[in-house]
Structure 1
Amino acid sequence: MNHTSKPIQVYRGDYIESTHDVHIAVVTAKGDLLAYYGDPHRLTFARSSMKALQAVPIVESHALEEYDLTEKELALFCASHSGEPFHRKSVEDVLNKIHLEEKHLQCGTHIPRDIDSYNKLIKSGKELTPFYSNCSGKHSGMLAGCVKQNMDVDTYREVSHPYQQQIIDVISDVSSYEREKIMTSVDGCGVPVHRIPLYNLAMAFGRTASPNDWDDGEPKRKKALGQISNAMVNFPEMVAGTDRFDTDLMREYQGRLVAKGGAEGVHCFGDRQTGIGVAVKVADGNARGTSVASMQVLHELKIGDQSVWDQLETYYHAPVLNARKEKIGEIKASFELNFI
Structure 2
Amino acid sequence: MTAPVLLTEVWRGPILESVHAGHAVICDGSGQIVEAWGDPNATILPRSSAKMIQALPLIESGAADARGLTSAQLALACASHNGAAIHTDPVQAWLTDLGLNESDLRCGPQVPDDEPARDALILADESPCQLHNNCSGKHAGFLTLNQHLGGDAEYIDPEHVVQKACLDAFEGVTGETSPGFGIDGCSAPNFATSLHGMARAMAFFASAEEGADTRQSAAVRLWQAMNKHPELVAGEGRACTELMRACKEPVALKTGAEAFFIAIIPTRKLGIALKIVDGSTRAAECTIAALLVRLGLLDADHPAALKRMNTPVLSRRGIDTGIIKPAATLV
Deviations 1:303-336 (CA, angstroms, capped at 9, x unpaired): 34567x4552212223445556765433111131
Tell whether the 8 Å contact from 2:223 to 2:264 is kept in structure 1 after alignment.
no
What is the letter of the counterpart of residue 309 of structure 2? Answer: Y
Aligned to 1:191: 188
Aligned to 1:40: 40
After TM superposition, give the deviation of residue 281 of structure 1 in Å. Answer: 0.4
Alignment partners' CA distance in 1, 2:81 and 2:190:
18
Does 1:288 find its partner at 2:285? Answer: no
Tell whether the 8 Å contact from 2:293 to 2:300 is kept in structure 1 after alignment.
no
Deviations 1:161-215 (CA, angstroms, capped at 9, x unpaired): 011000010011111112xx331110011000111111110111111122139xx
C-alpha change, 1:23 and 1:47, in structure 2 (3 Å) is same
Alignment partners' CA distance in 2, 1:306 and 1:288:
17
C-alpha change, 1:283 and 1:97, in structure 2 (3 Å) is same
Correspondence 1:169-248 to 2 at 5 A: 169-178=168-177, 181-212=178-209, 219-248=213-242
What is the letter of the counterpart of residue 101 of structure 1? Answer: N
C-alpha change, 1:168 and 1:298, in structure 2 (3 Å) is same
Correspondence 1:138-149 to 2 at 5 A: 138-149=138-149
Alignment partners' CA distance in 1, 2:311 and 2:261:
16
Q: Show structure 2 runs of 5+ residues with no match.
A: none
Correspondence 1:1-340 to 2 at 5 A: 6-152=6-152, 154-178=153-177, 181-212=178-209, 219-253=213-247, 256-305=250-299, 309=302, 311-321=304-314, 328-336=321-329
What is the letter of the counterpart of residue 176 of structure 1? Answer: G
TM-score (norm 1): 0.90
What is the letter of the counterpart of residue 73 of structure 1? Answer: Q
Mean alpha-carbon deviation: is it higher for 141-150 or for 325-334?
325-334
Alignment partners' CA distance in 2, 1:150 and 1:95:
16
Tell whether the 8 Å contact from 1:29 to 1:204 is kept in structure 2 after alignment.
no
Deviations 1:266-302 (CA, angstroms, capped at 9, x unpaired): 0010211011111110011111101111122222233
After TM superposition, give the deviation of residue 40 of structure 1 in Å. Answer: 1.5
What is the letter of the counterpart of residue 170 of structure 2? Answer: I
Alignment partners' CA distance in 1, 2:206 and 2:219:
8
Q: Match of 1:280, SS?
A: strand
Alignment partners' CA distance in 1, 2:234 and 2:316:
25
TM-score (norm 2): 0.92
After TM superposition, give the deviation of residue 260 of structure 1 in Å. Answer: 0.6
Number of residue pairs the alignment of both structures matches:
327
Tell whether the 8 Å contact from 1:172 to 1:182 is kept in structure 2 after alignment.
no
Alignment partners' CA distance in 2, 1:147 and 1:241:
29
Alignment partners' CA distance in 2, 1:194 and 1:258:
21
Alignment partners' CA distance in 2, 1:51 and 1:143:
14
C-alpha change, 1:43 and 1:260, in structure 2 (3 Å) is same
Tell whether the 8 Å contact from 2:7 to 2:283 is kept in structure 1 after alignment.
no
Deviations 1:51-103 (CA, angstroms, capped at 9, x unpaired): 00000111112222222321101100000001111100011011011111000
Tell whether the 8 Å contact from 1:36 to 1:337 is kept in structure 2 after alignment.
no
Mean alpha-carbon deviation: is it higher for 104-113 or for 325-334?
325-334
What is the letter of the counterpart of residue 140 of structure 1? Answer: A
Deviations 1:249-270 (CA, angstroms, capped at 9, x unpaired): 1112266111111000100102
Q: Match of 1:159, SS?
A: coil
After TM superposition, give the deviation of residue 218 of structure 1 in Å. Answer: 6.9
What is the letter of the counterpart of residue 307 of structure 2? Answer: T
Q: Match of 2:255, SS?
A: strand
What is the letter of the counterpart of residue 15 of structure 1? Answer: I
Alignment partners' CA distance in 2, 1:275 and 1:253:
15
What is the letter of the counterpart of residue 192 of structure 2? Answer: R
After TM superposition, give the deviation of residue 16 of structure 1 in Å. Answer: 2.5
